[in-house]
Structure 1
């Protein structure tokens, strides 16, 4: 039984929301970051980059305290306001390709994360979990929802659809040409229907935001231990999430680029590949795999198709059958000598929104020796791995939608 509740969001005023909303600050180049900080005083980037005001880089607890100060200044200046009553928020994104994503922003239970009602499919790094936990504890808010997904539900879908017939509270288009809409749901009867409907859904799956989920759970444990009057209803027992039906997710692949052939010649490398794969030289054809266990490879000016040999397709777990795991177990680890997919500097990842021309360009200019293209992982594979208590290799999925920071803020 999933516990998904409404909350009192802190939100920008309607006239400022398009100026406040930002992408995750790590996604900006330094030049982009400086431009936005210089010319947009309302950007949420000013909150998460407080050192800009003093023209210096600030890290650790000192930065966290300054983030808190900038956030409070935005509230004091009336840029942010908090809703008077707990609400669910219907959110919709229409991206530049015309694809639409709709779901509900709400507070999900940290206890559900602990008891596996909210399931994960990726490993997290303890150091990163604790760093973000300490950040959250100091700043006292979360401005970027975890992306959760649930089986399609007619009742919730009807509520979302009916809500979107009304005028949106927010409607703004970004420089990426994505249009964002937000509706506030504060009718008590509708709130109760949504809450009860989510109670019938189990499990729910993390699509994106594994570290944020883990850090939020650790924060809840810390604050619970420090609160002698703990009831379980405190805001720190929940974390802000964007819940979207499974059919509305868009999952892209992450392709792989490797800097060298681990001391092998091209010919020796191809001979080793032949043990596990049927190989065909496609020349200049931009070959894109269209079946599971088929891979594209670009090497020395040519594209190749790699088909996993049928006698190698007996798998004992859902993880064994995953294309990113197959690539790792058959090529990256045994032939190219890459054992640490997360930290080895010889490998780089390019998500599927960048096409195979990206791989070709990077190999042709000598930046990498070989590139591999994969099929996207599907939602059923992701769920099977989560249900089995397994985790995917790093960079197995690039999932949309991507929300903006600062549109809804959850305080604890």
Structure 2
């Protein structure tokens, strides 16, 4: 189903390899303002291509990219390859070192209706437009999105394990994650990767806005090209692919913060009791533990008071959103339906862009922000499982916004993929 290609990546000049940790950057949608300003101080950091500044940021990025090419800051690899990317990490409360194994390649930007690439989240139009403009001006994918394929035989892992023994880069990123990149040039092995993925559907784990940007650019170029063949560089997108069957694939919860309740606190608590069993808790820092593994259970921290919320089972059947059962079963559907819509009166269409609602992955940061008055309410949730993601994707539906946080995030700066005509590895070349 899915067509992938090796690529001739643009990478930093080898003389800069010793400083690669000073050239990488977080993805555009997770980099903080403080991180951003620090990274901008390095004139050749990848942040200048992924989150450019200026009155016309996309044009500035395109001009800078050309300067870097002309001066040899970036050089294009001579041979097409599959780039193996491993991320070694630990999680709080565990001594285990996890490793997420995957590889970076170009993949055709399939339209959603083709059901080759499946999404599980909606996009925010303004963020998509920003990515489209940057792609049009630079003709460069500055970072890979993250896709999942399913292979219970783990056919590609031995080749990746062998490759990673001779890394191009090895560094520690802003997450405390050890990132290692290697490359496979062997024609027969690349052919195996291409053939293996050809029979797969891909679930888009992370990077919905960047993928949507590539998709919109492809549609626009197709409309302008009466001789469109499907093999032009604009048809393709840079993606990091990992096997969904791997035990070390981690999805972390994303909690909700409300800056201000649209009703008095006592009224809010009273309304909650109509739908939930509300249990006071002494220690707010245990809220994530008391809900762990329990369906439709949430932690609530409000004005110094902590509560465990558990939906009354008979209430679940009253959800009247036109969603398949796979989506109705999700904790976050329950939260957004009963707490935001039924109790707070923030309807589903408003929730996506509701200015008073923010998202926080770090549990302790949620408690701290309420204590500091930066938010009035913290709603703590469990993580979504990989099986739930698969069921929702296969149903054709989507999850509530910010449902998943695949950890760790990939980083920007190891490699870049051009979609310029004379810099792209074609489908014919990939057939080897």
One fold, TM greater than 0.5?
A: yes
Instruction: Please name the residue that 1:217 is paired with.
Output: 215
Whole-angstrom CA distance in 2 between matches of 1:287 and 1:109: 43
Instruction: Please tell me whether residue 158 in structure 1 is matched to residue 158 in structure 2.
Output: yes
Tell me the equivalent position of 1:103.
Answer: 102
2:11 match: secondary structure: strand
TM-score normalised per structure 1:
0.89
| Distance of aligned partners of 1:313 and 1:26 in 2 relative to their CA distance in 1, 3 Å threshold | closer
Q: Secondary structure at the match of 1:123?
A: coil
Query: What corresponds to 2:43 in structure 1?
Result: 41
TM-score where L is the length of structure 2: 0.86
| Matching residue of 2:428 | none
Is 1:409 paired with 2:409? no
Distance 1:346 1:142, change over 3 A: same
Report SS of the residue matched to 2:44: coil
- Equivalences for 1:347-386 in 2 at 5 Å? 347-351=357-361, 354-355=362-363, 357-386=364-393
Distance in 2 (CA, whole Å) between partners of 1:144 and 1:271 is 47
Q: How does 1:290-369 map to 2 (within 5 A)?
A: 290=292, 291-314=294-317, 317-339=325-347, 340-351=350-361, 354-355=362-363, 357-369=364-376
Paired with 1:193 and 1:75, the residues of 2 have a C-alpha distance of 32
In the alignment, is the contact (CA less than 8 A) between 2:27 and 2:50 conserved in 1?
no
Residue 279 of structure 1 corresponds to which residue in structure 2? 278
Query: In the alignment, does 2:173 pair up with 1:171?
Result: no
Q: How far, CA to CA, are the matches of 1:50 and 1:252 in structure 2?
A: 29
Structure 1 range deviating more: 207-216 or 401-410: 401-410
Question: Aligned-pair distance for 1:281?
Answer: 0.9
Cα pair distance change 1:251/1:411, threshold 3 Å: same
Deviating more after overlay: 121-130 vs 184-193: 121-130
Counterpart-to-counterpart distance in 1, 2:353 and 2:227? 43
3-state SS of the aligned residue for 2:274? coil
Q: Tell me if the contact between 1:341 and 1:393 (Cα under 8 Å) persists in the aligned partners.
A: no
Cα 1:373–1:32 change in 2 (3 A) is closer
Q: Which segment is superposed worse, 18-27 or 117-126?
A: 18-27
Helix, strand or coil at the partner of 1:236: helix
Q: Partners of 1:49 and 1:280 in 2: how far apart? A: 44
Which of 88, 91, 95 is equivalent to 1:94? 88
Which has the higher mean CA deviation after the structures are superposed, 373-382 or 330-339?
Answer: 330-339
Aligned with 2:255: secondary structure?
strand
1:170-189 CA distance string (max 9 Å, x none): 22233543222111111110
| Structure 2 residues without counterparts, runs of 5 or longer | 92-96, 420-432
Is it true that 1:20 corresponds to 2:12 in the alignment?
no
Q: Give the superposition deviation at 1:115.
A: 0.8
SS in 2 for 1:337: coil
The answer as to whether partners of 1:257 and 1:371 remain within 8 angstroms in 2 is: yes
Q: What are the within-5 Å matches in structure 2 for residues 16-165 of structure 1?
A: 16=16, 17-25=20-28, 27-38=30-41, 40-48=42-50, 51=53, 57-59=54-56, 63-95=57-89, 97=91, 98-111=97-110, 113-153=112-152, 154-164=154-164
Q: Tell me, what secondary structure is at the counterpart of 1:111?
A: coil
Q: Secondary structure at the match of 2:156?
A: helix
1:19-47 C-alpha deviation (Å, 9 max, x unpaired): 32212355445454333333x33211234
Pick closer, same or farther for the CA change 1:326–1:211 going to 2, 3 Å: same
* SS of corresponding position for 2:189: helix
**How far, CA to CA, are the matches of 2:110 and 2:29 in structure 1?**
29
Query: CA deviation digits over 1:214-248, x for unaligned, max 9?
Result: 11111112223333443222221110000011134
